[in-house]
Chains A and B, each alone.
Chain A
Amino acid sequence: MAVATAGRPAGFRSRLSRKIQDNLMAYAFMAGGIACFAFFSWYPLVRGVILSFQQINFVTDPYWVGTDNFTAIFKDPLFVTAWKNTLIFTGIALIFGFLVPLALSILINEMRHLKGFFRVAVYLPVMLPPIVGVLLFRYFYDPGFGLFNTILRGVGLPESQWTQSSKTAMISLVLVSTWANLGGATLMYLAALQSIPGDLYEAAELDGASAWRRLRHVTLPQLRFIMLVLLLLQIIATMQVFIEPYQLTGTSNPDTVTVMVLIYRYAFTVNQDFGMAAAMSVLLFVVLGIFSAIYLRVTRDRD
């Protein structure tokens, strides 16, 4: 009895130490990852939140200003404009960036030939550095000598002012963003399409379903999960739009000032105030955090 009780902890300890030894390598790998996250993600995140309640000039010690930074950004007439523009951009970008890749992937999936070629062609823009793609479009959009207006003139259609006009500036930015980013989504849809069991289609065909009905009742339901995941990921990505307005329409253009552009203005150009920039970043973080939480929830249920 006494022996047994004395033996149990020893057994437990040896089991524990064996377990640790067995997993030592795994812990070592994990420690590296955790250290990187802590150093490059979590610590700056916490600092950013702290900074949003401080005034800082990087010379003297920062001091607490309560919610002054938040009050200042709420008072900024561009605050509402920037959120509105960001939501409009996200909305249009979703309509394009969500449906176009889906349609493209279904088309490519149905192809008998050249499938590989189109897969590469669709993905190519993703490989371009974003700034290169945007500068390319700057030339395309030029109202005088740009490629788009030259083509429109050539076929006798009315020209557009593209990024230069309030009416078309936002949609022009969405086009660039969609073109640059649809590759990834298309490939994901393609992978999902190819994992749909063929016998489902066979059964549908035997029942005399038309192509449209096969799409509606077989393809789309099978893709539902991946569509939801991509939808959430795209919302999170497109709400952070920066390079397109920064390069194509400028940081002082109220038609296209987005939340990220406003953060940039607060920190680096107009106000040079890191406290205000941090406050705006915290707000964006909260909004994106909500979408991230939904994403995690959705993917967890699936597992």
Chain B
Amino acid sequence: MNRSRLRSAVGLLLVAGVALSAAACGSDDGGNAPASDPNAKVTLVINGLPPDTEAVNRKHFLDNVAEFEKLNPNIDIDAKEGKMDPQTFQSKLAGGQLEDVFYVYFTDPASLIAKRQVADISKYLGEFAPTKEIRPDLMKIFSDDGGKVYGLPAKNYSLGLLYNRDLFTQAKLDPNNPPKTWDEVRTAAKAISALGKDYVGYGDYSKNNTGGWHFTAGMYSLGGDVAVNEGGTWKAAFNNEKGTQVLQQLKDMRWTDNSMGQRQLLEWADLLQMMGSGKLGMYMAAPDNIETIVNQFKGDFNKYGLGPIPNGTATLAGGEGYMFNAKATPEKIRAGLKWLTFWWDNPDRIATEYEWAASQKTPVGLPEPALWTGDAKAKQQAAIDKLKNLPVENYKPFADATANIPLKVEPPNAQQIYAVLDVPMQKVLTDKNADIAKLLKDAETQVNGILASVK
């Protein structure tokens, strides 16, 4: 039964072996970016192409590719499906199948940079003006400590409280005034789960790293931290009152109030599906979840509201972007930067994109933190004001608060830390007698072990 799993692992090792014997690499050590012939023919392999099931988005992507190729006759784009999948990333890299420009989540760059699996693009950025307008805190995610840059952000999000307005109304809560503190969340969750046996007032994650992710968001909301840098060394920073508060809140809601449902060990899609089924009151989410709930889980745009992250001292920000294959030639890096600054990282294209979205009846106006600073930021806001097509008043509580809630990026080695922090989340949600102090202490020991390797 598990033998097939072992065999595929062995196969993978084999691929790795074959690739290794043929591996070769090059690097540059100069002051300026290496020159390349601007008219040379380049084939640029990229990913992020939407699958056939998303016909409209796929066509749009390919239309953009066609437009770009027309503007750049010497660049031929070979677009592949797929985003960042850690399970296949290493084998693609080993087998020489990794795209020249590939999609990553904000949690990926740090470890890819540390493993030297991505190309340094710092020297090329001067040739691409729009990159100067990208928010410095987002650029930092794609940089190493020395300030070298290895990729560009394409989208970002921050977490808030996604809630079902209909259930708020049914539970005699004000749908235009979502909970602003964790105490209010607890009260509202009790009211919603009182609607009936199948209703879950508040949902949360605890499986496959999503639990640790939400624990981190909880810590940030209270003004806490998961890891802090003290004099150049990273240390775990959650074994304290705030960490206890995050877990105690969940434990009380799960066992004292019984407002979190019986089914736990949930992972990413579970809460979206529950929200789509109309039985879940609230959960912590990024605004883009609304679109997925509507498209994949039969939800309805008018039903959902977005509130700010409870307590709102700070909120976790994540997102996605693109990085460059370590073996990419100067021609390919330039072509890749041309492509990124033609579409995602191009303030002049924001309005065009929103016009297209509006024409397709896909959402314009979901409150997302801007990628931009200065003039570019103003351009984006003007385009949203002109083209919004969503019940944006439902997201007003979130949008109003966002301006005043500082964004906080994820800790270093985020996925490893999240895997450790899944455990306390799992325990408080599945064990009535979970010992919070011990859970935090054990997790702290492990996270410090992980952070010891962070430079």
Q: A-side interface residues toward B, CB under 8 Å?
A: 39-41, 43-45, 47-48, 51, 56-62, 75-77, 130, 142-145, 161, 163-166, 177, 180-181, 237, 240-243, 249-254, 260, 263, 265, 267-272, 274, 277-278, 281
| Residue of A whose beta carbon sits closest to that of B445 | A77
Chain B 318-330: CB-based contact to A (< 8 A → 1; otherwise 0) = 0000000011000
| Residue of B whose beta carbon sits closest to that of A273 | B115
A-B contacts, 16 listed (Cβ < 8 Å): A40-B7, A47-B13, A59-B116, A60-B25, A77-B442, A143-B262, A164-B263, A164-B265, A177-B1, A237-B1, A249-B265, A250-B207, A252-B420, A252-B422, A252-B423, A268-B90
* Contacting pair B326 A272 (CB below 8 A): no
Residues of chain A contacted by B23 (CB below 8 angstroms) = 58-61
Bound state CA distance, A233 and B91, in angstroms? 31
* Contacting pair A278 B415 (CB below 8 A): no
Residues of chain A contacted by B431 (CB below 8 angstroms) = 165-166
* Contacting pair A242 B90 (CB below 8 A): no
**If A165-B431, A240-B6, A243-B5 touch, does A251 touch B20 (CB 8 Å cutoff)?**
no
Q: Is B14 an interface residue (CB 8 A)?
A: yes
Q: Is B261 an interface residue (CB 8 A)?
A: yes
Q: B-side interface residues toward A, CB under 8 Å?
A: 1-3, 5-7, 9-11, 13-14, 16-17, 19-20, 23, 25, 86-87, 89-90, 93-94, 111, 115-117, 198, 206-209, 211-212, 261-265, 267, 326-327, 415-416, 418-420, 422-423, 426-427, 430-431, 442, 445-446, 449
Task: Give the distance to chain A from B101, nearest Cβ to Cβ, in Å.
Answer: 16
Instruction: Report which of B14, B25, B442, B445 forms a contact with A40, defined as CB distance below 8 A.
Output: B14
* Contacting pair A77 B262 (CB below 8 A): no
Q: Count A-B contacts at CB 8 Å.
A: 152
* Contacting pair B5 A253 (CB below 8 A): no
* Contacting pair A47 B16 (CB below 8 A): yes
Residues of chain A contacted by B420 (CB below 8 angstroms) = 252
Bound state CA distance, A163 and B431, in angstroms? 12
**If A44-B14, A57-B116 touch, does A281 touch B9 (CB 8 Å cutoff)?**
yes
Instruction: Report which of A51, A59, A253, A260 forms a contact with B326, defined as CB distance below 8 A.
Output: A59
| Residue of B whose beta carbon sits closest to that of A133 | B1
**If A143-B262, A250-B208 touch, does A43 touch B14 (CB 8 Å cutoff)?**
yes
* Contacting pair A253 B422 (CB below 8 A): yes
| Residue of B whose beta carbon sits closest to that of A240 | B2
**If A57-B115, A59-B117 touch, does A242 touch B10 (CB 8 Å cutoff)?**
no
* Contacting pair B25 A59 (CB below 8 A): yes
| Residue of A whose beta carbon sits closest to that of B24 | A61
Bound state CA distance, A166 and B429, in angstroms? 11
* Contacting pair B117 A58 (CB below 8 A): yes
Task: Give the distance to chain B from A171, nearest Cβ to Cβ, in Å.
Answer: 15
| Secondary structure class of chain B's binding surface, majority of residues | helix
| Residue of B whose beta carbon sits closest to that of A165 | B430
Interface centre among B13, B327, B427 (most CB of A within 10 A): B13
Residues of chain B contacted by A181 (CB below 8 angstroms) = 1
Residues of chain B contacted by A48 (CB below 8 angstroms) = 10, 13
* Contacting pair A237 B2 (CB below 8 A): yes
Residues of chain B contacted by A61 (CB below 8 angstroms) = 20, 23, 25
Task: Give the distance to chain B from A183, nearest Cβ to Cβ, in Å.
Answer: 11
| Residue of B whose beta carbon sits closest to that of A48 | B13
Bound state CA distance, A48 and B111, in angstroms? 23
| Residue of A whose beta carbon sits closest to that of B1 | A130
**8 tightest Cβ-Cβ pairs between the two chains A and B:** A252-B422, A250-B207, A240-B2, A47-B17, A143-B262, A58-B94, A44-B14, A59-B326
* Contacting pair B208 A58 (CB below 8 A): no
Bound state CA distance, A147 and B25, in angstroms? 56
Residues of chain A contacted by B264 (CB below 8 angstroms) = 164
Task: Give the distance to chain A from B434, nearest Cβ to Cβ, in Å.
Answer: 9
* Contacting pair A253 B207 (CB below 8 A): yes
Bound state CA distance, A277 and B12, in angstroms? 12
Bound state CA distance, A182 and B221, in angstroms? 50
Bound state CA distance, A77 and B116, in angstroms? 27
Instruction: Report which of B10, B93, B442, B446 forms a contact with A59, defined as CB distance below 8 A.
Output: B93
Residues of chain A contacted by B206 (CB below 8 angstroms) = 250
List 11 additional A-B contacts (Cβ < 8 Å) besides A59-B23, A76-B449.
Answer: A40-B11, A51-B16, A58-B20, A59-B327, A164-B264, A243-B2, A250-B206, A251-B419, A253-B265, A260-B5, A268-B87
Bound state CA distance, A48 and B90, in angstroms? 15
Residues of chain A contacted by B7 (CB below 8 angstroms) = 40
Residues of chain A contacted by B2 (CB below 8 angstroms) = 237, 240-243, 260
Residues of chain A contacted by B89 (CB below 8 angstroms) = 272
Residues of chain B contacted by A47 (CB below 8 angstroms) = 13-14, 16-17
* Contacting pair A180 B117 (CB below 8 A): no
